Structure 1
């Protein structure tokens, strides 16, 4: 047995040596060390004692997962770890710090509010020479959590430390340092060369996740919060009955120089995170799909309840230019069910593609699991647009719907549930050792951040999160296995106090248990490993690449040429699909389909039959609204535009079931006829041709509805789409082609809409056609509304109908016996439509759209008589409604199933009868005639179908116009004409607002344009052709509502020459702002800032912008030939101020730097200016290096006198002494930190005494010496 163990150890060590030759780039952040905290607690006998405990708090470190993508936007509650350095580790195992955020953190001493940064998201150029990455910048922030007394003492009563906490609610800071980020930007590092900035740091903008795009232009994709418009913020839709609206994050592209920025994902209305490029050229990204009916698809609760919306991130794909966005895996598969791979799908995020082209994704439960869970992999479907298996396939596991066959987990022991990780196999009898810990590891941990590696190096690179790695736990198995009794609040609970108490208490129990176990275990520690084979049967089969005990290492990418992994030099280049029928510069694109009756819209399990709580509406692949739809019922499609939200609180502007403004831009009748009025048939001769082609405005998010012949919704698309200018996007049918088992029955090329005689529909031309029916000849009847979109809203379209047709019987002025039939009030309209004035009388809008708990139901209609099948429970139980019922009267997006529409129309319209199902919502007795007109009925149907919108801002135009720039050039490759295409949905183009100019540095030249086209193109003839490829052309246009969109391109980009920017400046502008400083309130801070810029010396000068803790001071001029300038500001109140100074020359060369000013409160009495030193806060250094720090001091009475002496106590290990010359304001301390083979911590005390011995000051900080990564392996009985 010993021989077998030795051989296993030796073989794994050899494999580890082989992997050490793999160069990688990755993030390294300090793991939060153990934390000692204490408080007075009340015991069960009511005595009060002081209890102190040392907790393992690394389990509370947070990372850049879907819950915390930006590390603060609206709230510091969403911050992640800091400082994080970006590391390059070469083939010899030698590490280089590419981005040194630890030094920034150390300069401020790790004090809350001081500057810090975190570098993440590396991607590698296809030749393997350049690393692109993100730098988040901001200030240090320590989250505040509420800890229960019971975690401090095993006999403490339930309680919190109110008096000792901040705010008096039990919250207090925890030691896990995070970054309160106010922006992020993109940089690159050439291996063996320089590091440079691609996008400049600009507070309020997050540019993250850069990735190279294939092709000769060398463009780079990235994710950004920038809007590219006059809107300061663009925010997501809001799920009904929730309040959260998050920043929109969408994919952009740019040149390698950072110029010629283009939004790729104009469809994005939520968030797109961490893209990669597949070998076939598609860009895959994690997309947050919470639009339209998706939030109503799960039946476990009421609208707005019991829906973990941040687990709704799923992989989507698109062309690099942003066209043809489509789900890849998991979008139409059941989220809460286990599929044949043995895992369900939660948040699917962090992607990789293996050399065999299998697609792999981390699969984790958002928020409380350190961004870790399982890694799931699938072979990619064979054809574009396919997802996986047909949902109606016989014998199919429910969760395998639309999932590719032969999916698998990288490791079955890694779980994606919201729970602590599984125990090691055989725990505690088969200890699994790890070189970083004296104890064997009790838990298997979790996996995340997969990355591709050359096939000869193993199967897949991963991040292994060792420890419990969750703030939720539902069992005591680990304690029971070693015969220990878990203390209170350590199992079967959730929360931050539970998480640290669980792992801390387990560590104490393991110390007592022994047998290879000690208290030296991680709460959650991340390291980088290789899965040499898949599946990984046990954690000890992983091979360590980089893992240091005092740090988290994660998010790695192999820094090797693309061909080393995939056998080709780069992914395939996917050219945009353009139409020759649209003119150059057109702001429109085409959308078409071969058929709208070839459809796959039936929800899994069928349309709800009204007899079961398990309602399937909007479930998986289908959104069909009523039963029994035939081809003859389908008459056309509706296009609807989604406007942006522009605030964190859209509910102050718009209400409804979509959480965003939805505007109809046109209905299309698609039952095609020939010249004789006879139906045109498809090629099969069986089905009527219902193909169409529509020209719609480009670069705006839209969705589509399937309509019956009265313009009512039969099915609705579940996501946002867009077309690029000039694009032609066509499909086979409605939601078909997702599975190879259900291909379209016809192609668009073979359809009537593709024939030369077909005239495409045109939308966005100033008229909105609304389908109102068909005439006696079967031809469509339209109500043509002037404008650029119709937002069907309560105030304009519904309230007048209710007041004129319904209020006589349903009035707030009536009572239960007269004038308020069935207790329903239809004329109560407060300013806020979701308000209710008292407990008895709710607003009409609230009763119709927001009464999910049926609180507004009257006494004449008790719960036992209501339709039980739309409740969560049965007769006499809760009256909470189940999705998609938003009230008794309205079903989301489904007028034909809504009681309000039934009563208005005077008949049931869902293809069912009152006697068909027992206990369902019946139409009931005939409703009195109201005199309502057919057109009024259509407005009610349109209102329900498009989201039942209301609110003071429901009709506001929040979508900036579309502007598209193109050019014509002569034979000499000079631009002779600039072509500008413009169109706007919402309020229409302001024709007098068009501005087109040639840029000179940051200045815009004379306007070359006349009036803009309302919905077309204008051509501008240039007096002098443009020959300089680096000439920048800017164009902007407004809509009538005042929204602006601006585009800016170089001439070379427009001519198709790629990135013509000059090579990087060999002597760029570089600024040095100096260190942090402390002043007293009432003082004026002044400082001289130095800079260098070789190419500009004696030339044309610079411009300086200063950000004084969020207050800008812009446009400060610095004359040519200077090398410094002064800044100053009066600070009248105490606090902290992060100052960012940015300098830019006239050609755009720029640099910035940040420091922090601490403003102390003014005091009184004693020494008016005593000796004071600042030794800084927590610091980090690698073993084998010399630690240095500048300590600052102030002592007014000693200025130019006799100086000071100092001593440094290095944690009791060594004391160093020195002198400080008179007149100094700082001095440097240093010590060589020897190789100790483990991460160590020491408390350093610095004491300064003036020579006269009158004044003395001491300050302390913690110094953590990081272990240098070493090669190693994991060993244990399971490997034998």
Structure 2
């Protein structure tokens, strides 16, 4: 079923409606209509000078951290409309002046009806083969027939004097929001601006004038009928002046402080001017709204108070998770408890009806993605953002891009996938994302696009892919807009972000021109001063795909003032969106099922040199020496959320999260299963053998919505939609296995595992003469303790019997690498862990010592020291994350 509203709002937005009463938001939960408020006597220009009368603004918005709502043209009467906009257009800097490139839209006549023109560019995602990038149609060239809404912040154009010298190009320190500057630290204050089809501009929400206030309105989403917008206002207690590394003075660039930081969602009816402030929990962030076909809004929020996983630390704010609410903010419910490490900026995909969003994935082996050198260090964790998707109730989690490779296969593998963030969609349904290096580059890089395959299909399997780079990479991935995505100053191509599809198949985007890289003082006084331009962000459109912004014929300006940094544009239009059926259960249970144990969990090219990260860092995680036919049950772990900020010193564990075993579900004869799980519980799962030891396992945390029936064809079977049908499986004919609460205690180091090793092993493994120097009688978790020797000692070269491991790039040889925590423990599999082998009296990874010369050997015979129950405790503890208090 397709939902489409044919009303075109351009004429409405130009002032057809008269006498409408503006609505402004106070701290109350409900919107309130107010009598028309007089605008101060001073004229309101495009820069927003003038203000609401002080008492009116105070009554409506408060004094601190609030913006000013400005009426649209026509929201009062015709004469007021003329007064609200004195100058219909921004005056652009002459072309080429000051190092800026400004290319204008051609002067062409408008066509009839943007709705008709939008429908001319049609197609399905599967029509985009790998070697053929969908091209815009020249006859449908877009001439700004729809208005746009965007955010802007003042561009720093002043200079500073240091030791008698004058320095310019301070615009490089105007920081736009990105995955690092998520909730504060980005530049402010800001304005929300509507630019109409004829080039007139009106400020919708103002934090700049009449005096700067610590807030920025952004995250714009347009309703599907094109009549309303939703946006977030990010606030703080104050603005602060930046002082970059090495600077002897503060600089004039201002940013939102962490103190008092929060964000609140507003909706604005573009035809009536009615502004609605959502109910707000002080100190929380409600961000990234997106409209759904039923007129509800999905958004991201920290309301639940869960904190991210521990990888170095868990950051400085609670986790942004997916939520859903009515259009006025009421009846809010969390639909993304599985997001352990932040979700940002969802987008509703027109062709599939799924919500795409950026997801930070840093648990288990997922951060350890490099293929060369020692990877015990996880690298730049803020670059580990993927594109994920859910259905319109927040269920049926799927990976779209970034889950299986660091290098894209396109352009000879030159594109490293980093932070995949800021999503949009071309007119033919191709999804697009910015790909950038976090932190120093204002969220700018390249724009990648790809056709979305329906049916939970990610891309080529490891068997058929041409390379590891192409494994489960979307078929048809292509570079849409070139730019600099590395952590270095930008070249003449600048940086691109914020893709937004145009009706003619082109893209609207933010183009950052100039140096556009946060530099320390030494680089600032040298390299930056040699540039004609520090950094200027403006909104441009492509004229072809792929586009090189530096090529004069590839892009045209939409809005780019030398006085402002403009970004995050959204087109004000109606659009069609699919509403696919959602599988539900009559009982209200949350059911998860699979039709078979057919699997695509072996990595490309088979097992690599020991220790091989790719089976778990880049691919569905499995042991290589053990046949998958040994799996007889599916195990589920409940993921226990952190309720306060965790530091590395607060947490001892290998997976960055705490888990406890929920229970096991036996497989049917055909390999199928059906489990009833607690609704809204974040979980992980694995295929285990008859003794409950994992053979293949999931690493992405998932959850089920109330009444959800989520089924698949097999175990990470994502290269085709021609998979076994769950409806035809044995499990579909039988009642589900119900797992209500944990059936196994959460084994801990001090209370369960350490006493077990002391009792059974310390008689030999103690003192200076302990075999291999492994002492199993030292309490605690600090360096030198038994726990540290098993879970944290990667320096195996210092052992009496170092393993014959020589990792390329490691220094010195013999040092261990992930997924091994030490010589003795694999972070995910007991059957790959020497400690477990010795306790069980045999090697259990399906190999013999003589099979490979460069791995960990079982070595001399060792007595079976633990009984079956104790071995089960040890295996469960290892595979649940070697947790210690």
Pairing of 1:295-314 with structure 2 (within 5 A): 295-300=367-372, 302=374, 305-314=377-386
Which residue is 1:638 aligned to?
A: 635
Which residue is 1:1200 aligned to?
A: none
Pairing of 1:386-535 with structure 2 (within 5 A): 386-393=457-464, 396-412=466-482, 414-422=483-491, 443-455=492-504, 459-471=506-518, 495-507=519-531, 521-535=532-546
Between the aligned partners of 1:881 and 1:15, the Cα distance in structure 2 is 65
Shift of 1:131: 1.6
Q: What is the aligned counterpart of 2:810 among 873, 879, 882?
A: 873
Change (3 A) 1:418 1:743: farther
1:542 aligns with 2:666: no
What TM-score, normalized to structure 1?
A: 0.56
Which residue is 1:28 aligned to?
A: 152
Which residue is 1:440 aligned to?
A: none
Q: What is the aligned counterpart of 1:791 among 746, 767, 770?
A: 746
Between the aligned partners of 1:887 and 1:822, the Cα distance in structure 2 is 13
Pairing of 1:70-149 with structure 2 (within 5 A): 70-71=183-184, 79-103=185-209, 105-106=211-212, 115-138=213-236, 139-147=238-246
SS where residue 820 of structure 2 aligns?
Answer: coil
Pairing of 1:662-741 with structure 2 (within 5 A): 662-670=659-667, 672=668, 680=669, 689-736=670-717, 738-740=718-720
Between the aligned partners of 1:800 and 1:747, the Cα distance in structure 2 is 48
Deviations 1:430-486 (CA, angstroms, capped at 9, x unpaired): xxxxxxxxxxxxx2211110112222xx61101111112224xxxxxxxxxxxxxxx
Which residue is 1:1206 aligned to?
A: none
Which residue is 1:219 aligned to?
A: 296
Q: Is the 8 A contact 2:626 2:695 kept in 1?
A: no
Which residue is 1:821 aligned to?
A: 771
Shift of 1:199: 1.5
Q: Is the 8 A contact 2:495 2:513 kept in 1?
A: yes
Which residue is 1:557 aligned to?
A: 570
Shift of 1:120: 0.6
Change (3 A) 1:929 1:592: closer
1:573 aligns with 2:553: no
Between the aligned partners of 1:105 and 1:304, the Cα distance in structure 2 is 50
SS where residue 799 of structure 1 aligns?
Answer: helix
Between the aligned partners of 2:103 and 2:831, the Cα distance in structure 1 is 71
Which residue is 2:266 aligned to?
A: 187
Shift of 1:130: 1.1
Between the aligned partners of 2:340 and 2:378, the Cα distance in structure 1 is 23
Aligned residues: 749
Change (3 A) 1:367 1:336: farther
Shift of 1:193: 2.9
Change (3 A) 1:173 1:420: same
Root-mean-square deviation over aligned CA pairs: 2.6
Deviations 1:877-932 (CA, angstroms, capped at 9, x unpaired): 255422211111111101111111111111111111111112322111112453x2
Deviations 1:584-607 (CA, angstroms, capped at 9, x unpaired): xx5x411111112x1111122323
Q: Is the 8 A contact 1:98 1:195 kept in 2?
A: no
SS where residue 295 of structure 1 aligns?
Answer: coil
Change (3 A) 1:911 1:522: same
SS where residue 251 of structure 1 aligns?
Answer: strand
Q: Is the 8 A contact 2:281 2:303 kept in 1?
A: no
Change (3 A) 1:870 1:504: closer
Between the aligned partners of 1:316 and 1:341, the Cα distance in structure 2 is 22
Shift of 1:502: 4.8
SS where residue 217 of structure 2 aligns?
Answer: strand
Between the aligned partners of 2:556 and 2:543, the Cα distance in structure 1 is 7
SS where residue 97 of structure 1 aligns?
Answer: strand
SS where residue 214 of structure 2 aligns?
Answer: strand
Between the aligned partners of 1:104 and 1:844, the Cα distance in structure 2 is 64
Shift of 1:10: 11
Structure 2 stretches of 5 or more lacking a match?
1-95, 97-101, 111-141
Between the aligned partners of 1:504 and 1:303, the Cα distance in structure 2 is 34
Which residue is 2:881 aligned to?
A: 947
Shift of 1:614: 5.6
Between the aligned partners of 2:420 and 2:167, the Cα distance in structure 1 is 35
Which residue is 1:275 aligned to?
A: 346
SS where residue 900 of structure 1 aligns?
Answer: helix
1:763 aligns with 2:718: no
Change (3 A) 1:88 1:245: closer
Deviations 1:1153-1190 (CA, angstroms, capped at 9, x unpaired): xxxxxxxxxxxxxxxxxxxxxxxxxxxxxxxxxxxxxx
Q: Is the 8 A contact 1:594 1:751 kept in 2?
A: yes
Q: Is the 8 A contact 2:636 2:663 kept in 1?
A: yes
Between the aligned partners of 1:525 and 1:206, the Cα distance in structure 2 is 28
1:14 aligns with 2:107: yes
SS where residue 706 of structure 2 aligns?
Answer: coil
Shift of 1:299: 4.1
Change (3 A) 1:825 1:53: farther
1:52 aligns with 2:165: yes
SS where residue 915 of structure 1 aligns?
Answer: helix
Could you say which structure has the greater relative contact order, defined with CA pairs below 8 angstroms and 6 or more residues apart?
2
Deviations 1:364-411 (CA, angstroms, capped at 9, x unpaired): 111111110000111111x220011223226x1432222233322123
Q: Is the 8 A contact 2:374 2:807 kept in 1?
A: no
Q: Is the 8 A contact 1:186 1:210 kept in 2?
A: yes
Instruction: Judging by fraction of residues, say which structure has more strand.
Output: 1
